[in-house]
Amino acid sequence: MAEQISLEGVQGFFAQPNKAIRKRALAIILNHEMIEAEEALQQYLGNETDPELQMIGRKVLERLADYQKMSDSMPAEHVVPLLKSPVPETRVRALRRLLRKRTPTLATLLQQYCPMETVPEAALLLVSILNNNPHPGNLPLLLGFLESPSARLRLEAFKGLQILINASLLPLFFKGLVDPSQEIKVMTLQMLRQFPRKALLDALDQMLQTDNPEISRLAAKIFSHLQGADLLPIVQKHLQHPDQTTALFLQTFYSHLGGQAAAVHAAPPAPGVP
């Protein structure tokens, strides 16, 4: 089995005074297509003074960008045979190709083909992808990773739970606000009062950032059921939403409140009122 070098391992190599070790780190990133090392590589290049390593590092960055472009254009389903491989290195390579991909079906694909991943590097990549694609079905995987001996993996899993609440579970509550049943609307308002105001706003913001138009449109509709000047910054941020229906809902709500001037003078919401 080929040697697996973690992102932390590569960062440790970058910190070494020995040029050969730093050069080896660059080779590892290149040969293993470590897209997750891009930020660490950029930071390293900001501190590296050796001209040769600077040149190599910039070329590696360019190759990582090429890998990312290729991954962006590739349907997620194409890596399913690699995800099913018994070879850890193959699964890690497959997950790297999905690292920054966000699609409505990616979470369910990973739930199906990666339910018992135990290789540390693969598990970290898997959690990162799940956190980029919040879905209620991610919960069993995240709960499993909370039992990992790796503190970093447990940390990412806890972050994933927070993301899941804001971007996947709270939207399920929000559906109650637009339900035709008045009883359900009242019950939903009562439940939402149990959440911190910031959590509700963060959830709406994340819903508007999703690539799923059903979720972004739901978030846009929710604004008309809420109160408070603190809604306006989120609405303004997404007025030019790429989904035209979502943008229209937001623009209508913004116009109804009289724009930014009305927001500045609006009274803040009463404590405990969504």
- What pLDDT band is residue 256 in, cutting at 50, 70 and 90? confident
pLDDT at 246: 94
Residue 2 lies in a domain: no
For residue 69, count other CB atoms closer than 10 A to its CB.
10
pLDDT tens digit sequence for 187-218: 998 988 888 888 888 889 988 988 789 889 99
- What mean pLDDT comes out for the span 77-84? 93
Say what the pLDDT of residue 255 is.
87
Q: What is the pLDDT of residue 193?
A: 86
Q: Is the pLDDT of residue 262 over 60?
A: no
- Does residue 80 share a domain with residue 155? yes
List, for residues 217-233, the tens digit of each pLDDT value: 999 999 888 888 888 89
Percent of the chain whose predicted confidence (pLDDT) is above 90 = 64
**Is 178 inside any structural domain?**
no
- Count structural domains, the chain: 3
Separation of alpha carbons 173 and 230, rounded Å? 20
Going by pLDDT thresholds of 50, 70 and 90, the confidence category of residue 85 is very high
Flag whether 27 is in a domain. Answer: yes
216 and 201 housed in the same domain: yes
138 lies in the same domain as 88: yes
Give the residue numbers spanning the domain of 128: 76-165
* Average pLDDT score, the chain: 88
* Gap between the Cα atoms of 206 and 237, Å rounded: 12
Categorize the per-residue pLDDT at 3 as very low, low, confident or very high, splitting at 50, 70 and 90.
low
Task: Evaluate whether 163 touches 131 at the Cβ level (below 8 Å).
Answer: yes
Mean pLDDT of 44-62: 96
Q: Is residue 45 part of a domain?
A: yes
DSSP string, 196-234: -HHHHHHHHHHHHHSS-HHHHHHHHHHGGG---GGGHHH
Residue 172 lies in a domain: no
Q: Is the pLDDT of residue 235 over 50?
A: yes
Q: How far is CA 57 from the centre of its chain?
A: 27
Q: How many CB atoms lie within 10 A of CB 140?
A: 11
